[in-house]
Amino acid sequence: MKNLDLIAISDIYADIDRVKGIVSMLGQSERENRTIVIAGDISIKTASEHHAQNILSLLSKVCKDLFYLPGDSDNKDFAANISNAKNLDRRNYIVDDGEVKVGLLGLGGAPTHSVRSDEPLPYLWDENIPVVGEGLSTELKINIEKVVQGHPDYIILVTHSPPYGIADRSKPITLREMAVLEDLVEELKGEAKPELAEAAVPKKKVMTSPRHLGSRILREFVRFYKPDVHIFGHVHKEGGKAKFDEATRFFNVSHLCSLPYRLTGRKFLKIKISKDNISATFDHIIPERNIPFHDFIEKYL
């Protein structure tokens, strides 16, 4: 029985080299049987939309259908000028290859509580404001009810944000902040200020409590409607995580992000969907072969 192949990625941040790596791995051979989903943060707020268009153009060449939605770092109104690319944000679609029918619906952007207050990002929503939260819930309900009317074999929810409490944990001190602290320590040591350097080092005995950055609206939605699969990104430290409950399979696909995965290697999600089964694996992006050692260190480490 023929499978529908679905590739899911997120948090690209205009890194076109990583996208080229995925395109090279996928190739053209299974293009007509492949669907690609991007769960947001295609580009960065300081980059032009040309970067995002280039990324989607590359991916569109190795799939039949390309679905995307803007993340918090993308322009909410971004639209791809590509024939087989469809914006999934607050919309729904049915993919039917004649063997298996899959319904998709999506929600872009991220809740305000999931980012620092000093980050002016383009696409955020405050779910604690009743009219905003109720509006998001209503749009999701309308879209899933439209999907159900198409009688799909499976329903896939794609959002940029995780649902609250599922693959959404982040500690207050990030890798970027740790790097800044390490630089500060070295500067203080160089200035012969050992007492200040020691004070700047986080004490190992101090435990930092993980925070949940996901959306409560999404959590309530998936609890009630129970989509077969929920794909999301946004919280990088949980990238590559999968969680299954009795009804829904959850996948955080933000493992493509360079932080914190530049050292450990980045992955993308591959789902095989048949009439009778769904199977999923995270595949590593293979580094370039025959690259000089110095260039490898610079590029990958």
pLDDT tops 60 at residue 111:
yes
Is the per-residue pLDDT at 229 higher than 60? yes
Confidence band for 239, pLDDT divided at 50, 70 and 90:
very high
Q: Residue range 80-87: average pLDDT?
A: 94
**Segment 82-95 mean pLDDT:** 97
How is residue 217 written in tokens?
Answer: 């609206």
Q: Which residues contact 187 (CB under 8 A, 6 or more apart)?
A: none
**Which class does domain 4-172+214-300 fall in?**
alpha beta
Cα angle: 300, vertex 283, 165; to 5 degrees: 95
Residues of the chain with CATH 3.60.21.10: 4-172+214-300
d(CA 294, CA 198): 34
Length of the chain: 301
Q: What is the C-alpha separation between 67 and 253, in angstroms, rounded?
A: 14
Q: Are 122 and 102 in contact (CB under 8 A)?
A: no
Residue 46: per-residue pLDDT: 66
Tens of pLDDT, residue by residue over 121-176, are 999 999 999 999 999 999 999 999 999 999 999 999 999 999 999 999 986 545 45
Please determine, for residue 108, whether its predicted confidence score (pLDDT) is greater than 70: yes
66-102 core/surface letters (b: 16 or more CB in 10 A; e: else):
bbbbbbbbbeeebebeeebbbbbbbbbbebebeebbb
Averaged pLDDT, 268-293: 81
User: What does pTM read for this prediction?
Assistant: 0.83
Cα gap 56→10, rounded to integer Å: 12
d(CA 252, CA 39): 9
